[in-house]
Amino acid sequence: MTTATDTTPAAPVLSVQGLSVRFRMRGGAFVRAVSDAHFELGSGECLALVGESGCGKSVLASALLGLLPGNAETAGSALLGGDIDLLSADEQTLARTVRGRRIGLVPQSPAAHLTPVRTVRSQLEETVRELTGTPKPDVRKAAVAAAERAAFPADHLDRHPHELSGGLAQRAATALALIGDAPLLLADEPTTGLDRDLVERTVDELKRHTGDTRALLMITHDLAAAERIADRIAVMYAGRIVEQADARAFFGEPGPRHPYARGLLNALPEREFTPIPGMPPELADLPAGCAFAPRCPSATPACEELPLLVDGVACHHALEAQRA
Amino acid sequence: MLELQDVTAGYERRAPVFRDVSLTVAPGEAVGLLGPSGCGKSTLARVAALLHRPDAGRVVIDGTPAGGWRHRAPRAQRTAFGVVFQQPRLSADPRLRLADLVAEPLRANGRSAEVADAVRELTERVGLGPELLGRRPHEVSDGQLQRACLARALILKPRWLVCDEMTAMLDASTTAALVAVVEEYRAESGAGLLAVGHDRVLLRRWCDRTVEWDGLGASPGE
Ligand SMILES: Nc1ncnc2c1ncn2[C@@H]1O[C@H](COP(=O)(O)OP(=O)(O)O)[C@@H](O)[C@H]1O
Ligand code: SF4
Ligand SMILES: [Mg+2]
């Protein structure tokens, strides 16, 4: 189900195949946070991974960064640039060559991500020293340039994180994420808690930084933010990617093909504003068949069997859903 | 009627966040207050719900001026409000099981006898199954916890609801579900609503009318 685009070079920036993550709980139970995820990301591409809170999005991101807790078990592979498997790489490799250098992380709550007791300038300079070979006398200039790249105002460089508004803290975090010039940007809920204008500015900036040379994986529950910048959409439900689609087809015509994705869009206040009945299943107690069945208007006995992702959608009745 | 008259409020006497703001919500009316982050709308919402003492101005609830703030507010006025905030994790006691979280206002008002029935009715209404009621906040998702916080806000059957960015952290479906619960409650109780937020599309769809912070006559603090 690779959606190769003409801008994709030989090896995709990121190729995730059969990625699963489960957490071993006390008493031997498992929480299956991510099940069998497949997707690829080429340079110049922006993929938005959407879904409600708790569906496994952030666990997937942590898996790519090698930041899973000790009780996690993974399967599958996640090839970065065709040469390094993020799932089997050791911590030293991840710390020295991947995080910051090959994957730039734009965090969920920038204020919490920045070190509270140090100024933005000193954090930028430290990251410049760590990640680039900039000679000592040039570090200061490089840090100023890094701030400028993320539109962080130079006259705020000597402030501490708590002296920044949410928008400026977000830019400071983005500036840090860009220093290593990583080919993959990973943004986990980069707009939570920001107001609409700031959401738009933040995602526009992420898109701009992606340009033609990087790839962006944006994790979000904000469908409007996803619609604004994504080339492709992946919808996650109960740990599974249930639909992958071209963003324009998804938000416009012909619309989502998976009943959950359709329900999610219809819940928007600019659409029908009707919720999907019920709540997602517990990840510790997933059914054998389609996890959406108890909430699905199109469910039939066929849905007791797990639907595979075929042609971008994991649903036994995807076409009917689209026509309905 | 919920009336805010010439309210000045903030966190430092000499530098209030805003001055002279007035806003009225008619009985049964739903008013959406729109403004950028940091403008002071959350502060105003807390004043309206008697949770923050203003530096100047009056709050009049159904004809009676506010008799105090926070725990000093008269019980009848305090319990006239149900309040839901943006971040359920900051407003929910992490030690309480969800059932006790929802029941807390009843117990605090000496009405423990009603707990069993009321908790059952309200948790059903917000869509929380019995299997979740024994869990603590860290064992549920943001959406599930916010459902519990909304149930708690409704358990004393308030005449006024104040929702400050209630759905800002939530996905589209959970947002629509919680708004539907609020509207169902308002339809049967006649309660009024002050919903504060920055999502124009949402508040226009939800409320009878929306007002812009800039149109409230607020003069900046400093
Ligand atoms: N507890 C507090 N102590 C000091 N300042 C605060 C506190 N809460 C909010 N503020 C400040 O008051 C201003 C308005 O905040 P708030 O009412 O939360 O705005 P909004 O809801 O419009 O985002 C902001 O500058 C904020 O930093
Ligand atoms: S597989 Fe069946 S239950 Fe699952 S989404 Fe499709 S129609 Fe609904
Ligand atoms: Mg606020």
Which sequence spans correspond to the domains of chain A?
Answer: 14-102+182-323
List, for residues A224-264, the tens digit of each pLDDT value. Answer: 999 999 999 999 999 999 999 999 999 999 999 999 999 99
pLDDT band at A320 (very low <50, low <70, confident <90, very high): low
Burial classification of residue A58, based on how many CB atoms lie within 10 Å of its CB (0-12 exposed, 13-18 middle, 19 or more buried): middle
Alpha-carbon gap: A316 to the closest alpha carbon of chain B (Å): 22
pLDDT at res. A183: 95
What six digits make up the tokens of A181? 């010039």
Which of A192, A311, A186, A200 lies closest to A258, judged by CA? A311
Is the C-beta atom of A235 inside 6 A of ligand 2?
A: no
pLDDT at res. A111: 64
pLDDT > 90 in chain A, percent: 71
What six digits make up the tokens of A139? 């570090």
* DSSP run (H or E) holding A178: helix A166-178
Question: Cβ–Cβ of B206/A269 closer than 8 Å?
Answer: yes
- In this prediction, residues B188-215 reach a mean pLDDT of 95
pLDDT band at A53 (very low <50, low <70, confident <90, very high): confident
Question: Cβ–Cβ of B198/A195 closer than 8 Å?
Answer: yes
Per-residue pLDDT for A9 more than 70? Answer: no
pLDDT band at A8 (very low <50, low <70, confident <90, very high): very low
pLDDT at res. B222: 47
Query: Which residues of chain B neighbour A196 with C-beta distances below 8 Å?
Result: 198-200
Ligand closest in space to the Cα of B85 = 3
Alpha-carbon gap: A192 to the closest alpha carbon of chain B (Å): 6
Ligand 1, atom 3, lies closest to the CA of B11
List, for residues B163-192, the tens digit of each pLDDT value. Answer: 999 998 889 999 999 999 999 999 999 999
- In this prediction, residues A135-155 reach a mean pLDDT of 92
| DSSP secondary structure, A78-131, as one string | EEETTTEETTTS-HHHIIIIIBTTTEEEE-S-HHHHS-TTS-HHHHHHHHHHHH
Helices (H), A183-313: 196-210, 223-229, 247-251, 259-266
Per-residue pLDDT for B124 more than 60? Answer: yes
Taking the Cβ of residue B202 and every Cβ of chain A, the question of whether any pair is shorter than 8 Å is answered with: yes
List, for residues A159-191, the tens digit of each pLDDT value. Answer: 998 888 777 888 899 899 999 989 999 999 888
Q: Give the span between the Cα atoms of A321 and A122, in whole angstroms.
A: 54
Question: Cβ–Cβ of B169/A264 closer than 8 Å?
Answer: no
Per-residue pLDDT for B155 more than 80? Answer: yes
Alpha-carbon gap: A320 to the closest alpha carbon of chain B (Å): 22
Per-residue pLDDT for B221 more than 70? Answer: no
Is the C-beta atom of A313 inside 6 A of ligand 2?
A: no
Q: By the 8 A CB rule, do B156 and B83 touch?
A: no
What six digits make up the tokens of B22? 């007035």
* DSSP run (H or E) holding A64: helix A57-65
- Chain B residue with the nearest C-alpha to that of A54: B141
Question: Cβ–Cβ of B168/A274 closer than 8 Å?
Answer: no
Query: Which residues of chain A neighbour B37 with C-beta distances below 8 Å?
Result: 165-166, 193-195, 198
pLDDT at res. B22: 96
Is the C-beta atom of A256 inside 6 A of ligand 2?
A: no
pLDDT band at B86 (very low <50, low <70, confident <90, very high): confident
Burial classification of residue B5, based on how many CB atoms lie within 10 Å of its CB (0-12 exposed, 13-18 middle, 19 or more buried): middle
Question: Cβ–Cβ of A274/B176 closer than 8 Å?
Answer: yes
Per-residue pLDDT for A5 more than 70? Answer: no
Q: Give which of B86, B145, B171 to mutate to test A binding, by max A Cβ within 10 Å.
A: B171
Taking the Cβ of residue B37 and every Cβ of chain A, the question of whether any pair is shorter than 8 Å is answered with: yes
Distance of CA A14 to CAs A42, A77, A127, A243, B191, Å? 7, 10, 24, 18, 52
Determine if the peptide bond prior to B220 is cis (ω within 30°): no
pLDDT at res. B198: 86
Taking the Cβ of residue B194 and every Cβ of chain A, the question of whether any pair is shorter than 8 Å is answered with: no
Domain locations along chain B: 1-80+159-222, 94-157
Q: Give the span between the Cα atoms of A74 and A87, in whole angstroms.
A: 7
Ligand closest in space to the Cα of A308 = 2
A160-164, A298-302, B37-41, B188-192: range with lowest mean pLDDT:
B37-41
Ligand closest in space to the Cα of B46 = 1
Q: Is the ipTM of this complex over 0.85?
A: yes
- In this prediction, residues A313-322 reach a mean pLDDT of 81
CATH number of A14-102+182-323: 3.40.50.300
Q: By the 8 A CB rule, do B189 and B157 touch?
A: yes
Taking the Cβ of residue B199 and every Cβ of chain A, the question of whether any pair is shorter than 8 Å is answered with: yes
pLDDT band at A323 (very low <50, low <70, confident <90, very high): low
Tell me how far apart the terminal alpha carbons of chain B are, to the nearest angstrom.
31
A5-19, A81-95, A195-209, A269-283: range with lowest mean pLDDT:
A5-19
Least CB–CB distance from B173: residue in A192, A194, A264:
A264
Is the C-beta atom of B86 inside 6 A of ligand 1?
A: no
Q: Across the strands, what pairs with B146?
A: none
In the block, which residue shows the tokens 């869009």?
A: A265
- Chain B residue with the nearest C-alpha to that of A272: B176
Query: Which residues of chain B neighbour A263 with C-beta distances below 8 Å?
Result: 173
Pocket test for ligand 1, best of B11, B84, B212 (most atoms within 8 A of CB): B11
| DSSP secondary structure, A2-14, as one string | ----TT--SS-SE
Query: Which residues of chain A neighbour B173 with C-beta distances below 8 Å?
Result: 52, 263-264, 267, 275-276
Per-residue pLDDT for A112 more than 80? Answer: no
The CATH class for the domain spanning B1-80+159-222 reads alpha beta
Q: Give the span between the Cα atoms of A3 and A8, in whole angstroms.
A: 10
pLDDT at res. B220: 63
Question: Cβ–Cβ of A192/B205 closer than 8 Å?
Answer: no
Per-residue pLDDT for B131 more than 90? Answer: no
- In this prediction, residues B126-154 reach a mean pLDDT of 92
Is the C-beta atom of A240 inside 6 A of ligand 2?
A: no
Burial classification of residue B79, based on how many CB atoms lie within 10 Å of its CB (0-12 exposed, 13-18 middle, 19 or more buried): middle
Per-residue pLDDT for B62 more than 80? Answer: yes
- In this prediction, residues A198-222 reach a mean pLDDT of 91
Angle at A16 between CA A11 and CA A19, to 5 degrees: 160
Q: Give the span between the Cα atoms of A311 and A103, in whole angstroms.
A: 29
What six digits make up the tokens of B127? 């869509």
Per-residue pLDDT for A22 more than 50? Answer: yes
What six digits make up the tokens of B135? 């869990």
